[in-house]
Structure 1
């Protein structure tokens, strides 16, 4: 797959090995914007920080940005405001902030760089002046094992109001890199450091391969003088209002496409022909409105064996549009019962023939899918399902549920795996916006189910699950140093 090949070419064509480090700053480099503001907002909402205390911190942040305050003063003030709070609570707060605010700010191109380094077996680390509560949930999500941050002192699980050691800022980042190099046997002369700010100039000057990402004007001038290659990624800098309009318009186009198909039904007497017209219309109009493009490998497998049960790894709510775009006609689907409650969308899904099931009741779900067996056999209709049962928002799949595979076995049709690599670039976790982008999709060859039985079903499903992991692993091979 070549979506980010130009961005990752230097890494892809370079040496491999865990002795080479890829060090990343966090704010402005891995994520767009600054995590501290989400953190402060949550502290105020929790009552852990008064509005006046927050204003004092914001004032220091502003003065720090203008060069009128040092980073140590800012961190000391933050530490003092944390005094007496339980660290365990803030581990949960950090995860909540990531799920709600920061996951959607991950820059797709930066993630591609991280994954490229992982493919090469490099030692990937985040070295950030932020706290672990801001950084570590993202590191875990991205599969990054090594994190160096500024810390706050904790005794008996309680913040003391003091700093926890030397700050990971300026020369402190160089020290953190040297510590990691000593522990892991790294060659820093052959290693990379990605940052957006002159606050990191010490480590940029120390490392063998400084790589400014989204550089500030000041850092860009320095980089140009010193011949450091720079990149600016704008995939997360679009208008929020436009992104929201894309989302709403795309969803409304689903209902509009169903209405547009009604005359086809009336004129031909064929409900399926109306559904085919509506599905194709939604695929093209919805994709245009969302700014969605597809890069497809194995497209011939979409038509190699129909009817079939198509299964896909569920990363995003835009997966529905992706499936419509590639399947086009003569297919139905399965969704969660809650969709019925969504105005227009629920009605449109049912008109499309989508079976809406109660996922909390396995017997009810199985009974609800029984008519699909008849449709597959008698009407030659394919079915598309997400065997994980819910969205993962990442390339790490959840354990597969059995419904799709029971369906294929009972209908006597093959399973066709659809592997979606990066739908979260267009519709990220926690976001109500759609971002224009290209999603990589790979269609794997049909898998025969004729010899499947209840006795060997779990074994066969485990093989398909492993196939997904192996296929996704081609672009996100996590290597533990």
Structure 2
């Protein structure tokens, strides 16, 4: 079962088609908290704000939050603080801030709602009072191509310090929704709007299906009186010492699992049996500590053809324990050379049979992988690798490198794709916290490599990439 089936049930059972819109506020609805603070911190770090501008902006934000200042004043201050900056530079900063700060704040349950609406073919859009620099990188990541925001004036590529037109706030959001409806043949009477704030009361009242999400106390009271269904998602608000403890404890559990396997080596004389015991224990122990649960489709494919080269799309550092929990025995992995510098962890990883390679040295990395081919042939040991070579924020994988495919081809073993759908829900890239949750995993059927050659390898890799894209894009609604 899909981990968010209960959350998406209403949408899964709703009529399909683009005539229905699903409109989402941004701050507090799609992401936990407010994106403006990430941008304010960056402006301070870069020295773009004078001390008096910092004080004025902080004061305006505080007064707006208390209801003692209007939104126009706040946005005017923000626009003035950007005067003279190049928009091109700011676009680059915006993308980096998304990857560093905002991506990890995306609320998994909200993303599940967005994806459910997309599966139904609904017209999905973000309507936000924030600027495009805050919203657009996230919209692209989520696959949303319709965005309405407040804008800041740009002339000849330079911010003028003035607002770019009417703000997308209050009635302005209704106007944005009407424009969207007109250009996309949307029926707002049968459409949804998700928001956390009474600042959006006009649009909540306008659409046929208002959906308060993580509402303020004031909006919750209004919703209760009007019979609007309320949803509260807390998975990204649990930022506590426990989350950090989970992260540290999972890493420590690797060392403990390795130590627990040493007596097996001493008693049996088999290092591989000790590794099998340690990796199986690590997969179970680390998952329990991290609060990780797995929903696995195609589990039989894990054992259908061994040895094999298992590949996985790399979304999170929690992928390591996912693979350990799935594969359990007789496998080796590949990691980055930087792991060697981690006290105890590096030693534990190498003991476990993981080959650590320098990603900046292509020739050296290839040479380091050669012994894996011998281990597959002689010891019947499978290999697990992330062909992207590094983690990515997106469900869309980065282009695959060919190392794993070369190994499978030369060893004469199949490729078995492991498709990880939502590891970032438990451990977002760039976050130091672990959030308890369920990750959906698909194990695809083994892919025969016996007819692969150097000449057709590029085409074969492209076919495997297409399998991942199809698996990650396909509908996973109940009954499908």
Q: TM range, normalised to the smaller chain?
A: over 0.9
5+ residue gaps in structure 2? none
Residue 365, structure 1, aligned to residue 326, structure 2:
no
Deviation per residue, 1:447-466 (Å, 9 max, x gap): 11122222222222211111
Aligned to 2:133: 133
Distance in structure 2 (CA, Å) of the matches to 1:81 and 1:209? 38
C-alpha distance in structure 2 between counterparts of 1:347 and 1:319, whole Å:
19
8 Å contact kept, 2:306–2:380 = yes
* Matches of 1:475 and 1:341, distance apart in 2: 42
Question: Is the contact made by 1:169 and 1:200 (CA closer than 8 Å) also made in structure 2?
Answer: yes
Match in the other structure for 1:321: 321
Deviation at 1:75, TM superposition (A): 1.0
Matched, 1:153 2:149: no
Deviation at 1:277, TM superposition (A): 1.0
**Cross-structure match for 1:282:** 282
> Is the CA contact 1:104–1:429 (under 8 Å) kept in the aligned structure 2?
yes
The question of whether the paired residues in 1 share the 8 Å contact of 2:317 and 2:429 is answered with no
Normalising by the residue count of structure 1, what TM-score does the alignment of the two structures yield? 0.97
Shift of 1:193: 0.5
Q: Which residue of 1 aligns with 2:260?
A: 260
Deviation, structure 1 residue 142: 0.8
1:399-438 equivalences in 2 (<5 Å): 399-438=399-438
Partner of 2:100: 100
Alignment check: 8 A CA contact 2:154 2:160 kept:
yes
8 Å contact from structure 2 (residues 2, 476) kept in 1: no
The match for 1:207 is 207
Which digits, 9 at most, give the CA deviation of each residue in 1:64-101, with x for residues without a partner?
22222111111112222222222222111211211111
* Range with bigger deviation, 49-58 or 145-154: 49-58
1:330-388 alpha-carbon deviations (Å, 9 max, x no partner): 10011122222222121111101111122233332222111111111111111101111
Is the aligned partner of 1:228 residue 2:228? yes
Which of structure 1's runs of 4+ aligned residues deviate more than 6 A?
none
**Partners in 1 of 2:369 and 2:271 — Cα distance?**
19
Q: Name which of structure 1's ranges 384-393 and 467-476 shifts more when overlaid on structure 2.
A: 467-476
Task: Indicate conservation of the 8 Å contact 2:128/2:168, yes or no.
Answer: yes
Matched residues in 2 for 1:96 and 1:367: separation?
A: 34
- Once residues 359 and 73 of structure 2 are traced to their aligned partners in structure 1, the CA distance between those partners, rounded to angstroms, is 52
* Secondary structure of 1:33's aligned partner: coil
CA contact (8 A) 1:213 1:231 kept: yes
Give the distance between the partners of 1:297 and 1:125, measured in 2 at CA: 31
* TM-score of the aligned structures, taking structure 2 as reference length: 0.97
Q: How far apart are residue 429 of structure 1 and its match?
A: 2.1
Q: Deviations over 1:265-303 (max 9, x none)?
A: 112110001101110111111111111111111111111
Deviation at 1:4, TM superposition (A): 0.7
Structure 1: which 5+ runs fail to align? none
CA distance in structure 2 between the aligned counterparts of 1:7 and 1:64, rounded to whole angstroms: 32
**Shift of residue 23, structure 1, vs aligned partner:** 0.6
Post-superposition Cα deviations, 1:3-56, rounded to whole Å, max 9, x if no partner, equal 111111111111111221111000000000011111111111111113332222
Within 2, Cα distance between the matches of 1:54 and 1:438?
Answer: 41
Report what 2:88 is aligned to: 88
How far the C-alpha of 1:242 sits from its partner, in A, is: 1.6
1:53 alignment counterpart: 53
Indicate if the aligned counterparts of 1:115 and 1:476 stay in contact, CA closer than 8 A.
no
Structure 2: distance between partners of 1:357 and 1:68: 57
Q: Equivalents in 1 of 2:273, 2:387: separation in Å?
A: 27
